Structure 1
Amino acid sequence: MEILVALLSLIGLGSGATLFVIRNLYYICQPSEVLIFAGSPTRTSDDRKVGYRLVKGGSSIRVPLLEQAFRMDLTNIIIELKVANAYSKGGIPLTVEGVANIKIAGEEPTIHNAIERLLGKTRQEIEQFAKETLEGNLRGVLASLTPEQVNEDKIAFAHSLLEEAEDDLEKLGLILDNLQIKNISDEVGYLDSLGRKQQADLIRDARIAEAQAKAESAIQTAENQKITALRRIERDIEISKAEAERRIQDALTKRVAMVTEAEAEIAAEVVRTQADVAVQNERIKQVQQQLQADVVAPAEAECKRAIAQAKGEASRIIEDGKAQAEGIKSLAESWQAAGTNARDIFLFQKLDVLMKILAESVPEVEVQNVTVIDTTTGNTAVNLASFLEQLRQTTGMDVPKLVRHLSGDKPDR
């Protein structure tokens, strides 16, 4: 820049010179490219001396006669890849089709490799270099993988290819942005048979998975039902516990209420009973007084009267006894005084009483005449004699003899 400034000062730039500088010496770098001014030695980031300077994203002025400007495009390059009859591991030839996105490196130190190897090359030439490099790497990767590995996991295959090609492309100053495998085929039908086998395996796995899914669904359903049933049982248990607790509380409350009510009733009854006791005491006194007046006093009077009557009766009995004793005593004295006739006199006295009794038992009749009939000719005399005999046998009293004794007749010998 110092040389340019000195040159412009020597020439004495005017408006025409300014326009010339802008048109031929002033360069603007687009974001998708890099400017390379060859002829000015500089040092790289790794302290390596090169004979050019780089401008990326900006502008710069080319030194006339000392520098030459080059543009390098950094946009993506799409490369169609197709490798035919590439032998895989196991000797099976495969055909692989893919697409890759590459670009020239825009950062140090890889950009220096691009400048050294690709500067001045057209995009077609760069694309061809990259394609040949990628196809070589693709064949190398296929040789290390079996057809099953290549066909089953295309993403892993592409990743392996990226790792394989990265170093080779970096040496060219290129960067592999993306790589997609579009198709893998073979002419001997190995992949088709493998595909049918895989399809059968897939169907089998699908059926197994479906059966497992149904079994797991049934198990999960049963488990859910068990959990639901357990939760329902737990809920019912909790409800029962709550209901039992509520009933216990209700029972306790009712018990307290009933006890309180019973205590109140008992207290009221006690008060009422106490009041009734006083009333009953007064009533007892009244009844006692009434009993004293109605029963006890008359009973005492009756008792006194009975006692007096009993004393009177006893006195009368005593007097009667005394009189009877006196009579008996007199009778005994009379009996002794009568001597041998005492017994007949006693019997005669008794006969008088007996005759009165017999006479009372006979109906009253009027007797106009008394006829005595001889015992030998009349029935009446027979009956009277029979009566006197019975009297003698039962009482021991001989009436005819007694009559004769009383009349002074001597008894028959």
Structure 2
Amino acid sequence: MFEFLLSPIPGFIALAVVVFLIGLIYAKTVYKNAGPDEALVITGKKSKKTIVDGQALEESGQRVVHGQGVFITPFFQKAFKISLRSRAIEITAVAQDQNGVTLTVEAVAIVKVGDDPAAIRAAAQRFLGQDKNIDGFAQEVLSGSLRSSIGGTNVMTIIQKRDELGSSVLATARESLANQGVDVDSFEIKGITDENDYIRDLGRAEQAKVRRQAEVAEHQANREAQEAAILAEQAIAEAQNTLALRKAALQLDTDKASAEAAAAKPLAEAKAQQSIVQQQELTAQRRASLRKAELESEVNAIADADAYRIRVTAVAAAEAAVAAANADRDSRIANAEAIRAEGQANADAILARGTAEATATRLSAEAVAEQSEALIQLRMVEMLPEIARELAAPMSNIDNLTVISTDGASQLTKNVASGFTEVDGVLKSTMGVGIRELLGNLVGGVAAGAAAVKVSTPVPALTTAQQADVDHALAAPAVEA
């Protein structure tokens, strides 16, 4: 950074900035411009003399620039601005006309510095830096011209031809204003008055004339209005008369029509009654025809309904008979099948039973042939419940039992046991084996084992019912002491 500051580059930059600022200041000094409502008057040049058509003309050294910019030479030329704006000036002039009538005339004028370079140079020579003096100067010049113009005319001309008065004022004042570089855009008369009511008196005669003409016209109008009213009343009366006649004629026609209507009413009623009767007859005939058609329709409907009911009933009965026959046929077929199946089943059962009995008999015979002793013992064991039941049967039929013994109720048990002892002795004496030996052999399986070896069907053991009968025979029955 320090090396950059010591280098010549910052010096060049500073020099360029200074030169640029000097250039701006110089350009601002040497270049001047004017707005659209301004003009520049540039001084500093020498005037020139030229000869045109044998006349020596001096050209001013002042240069005028309007609405644009221009370069000037410093120290040798100067530029001055002058405004070209328009301004309104109120003017009031008191003067006598050519008839000696004192008038006060008010006007307004629009003035400005002229547009041509000569006018701008003239205005610059007189009003540069003092634009407000233009208003006073123009006001004085125009007031004098206005007073001069008033003195050369009369009141009626001023009143009736204000434009001529304005043109006369401009024609008189324009040259004086142009010499000062001032121009007038317009001049208008605002008002004209006088102190002695001269202008008002001038109008009184005309007003009276007009008033008189108005009164005459009013009377004429009233007369014409009255005549019109009379004619209107006459027309109204004629119209009322015509209306009354018309009303009478209409009333006559109305009465005639009323009489005809009154006479025609009974006839109309009779005709109407006749029409009603005829209509009633037609209605009765139509009603009878309708009733006849209804009866025929009802009878036909009933007949059709009966026929349909009979037809439907017959069809239903036929279908029911067919269904019943089919059902009976099916039932008979089913019964026949059932009977055939039942007979077949019975035959099969009888055949099976016969086959089984034959097989059992054959096997029994074979068993008896081979093991006759064991089978005999088995049959004896199977008969023990019957023996016990027969021994107990007399006691089971006793409702009340009274035991007379010194041993009490136990004597009854002893009696039953002695019965079995006697049976056991009988079996031993006849069969050579007692009840105890039979049961022991059965439990030991001697007879059952031998039968199982030789016979395909095993010898059955004691059933639950048989065992219960044996136990019942051995047990003492309950006795009421």
What band does the TM-score fall into relative to the shorter chain? 0.3 to 0.5
Q: TM-score, normalised by structure 2?
A: 0.37
Q: TM-score, normalised by structure 1?
A: 0.43
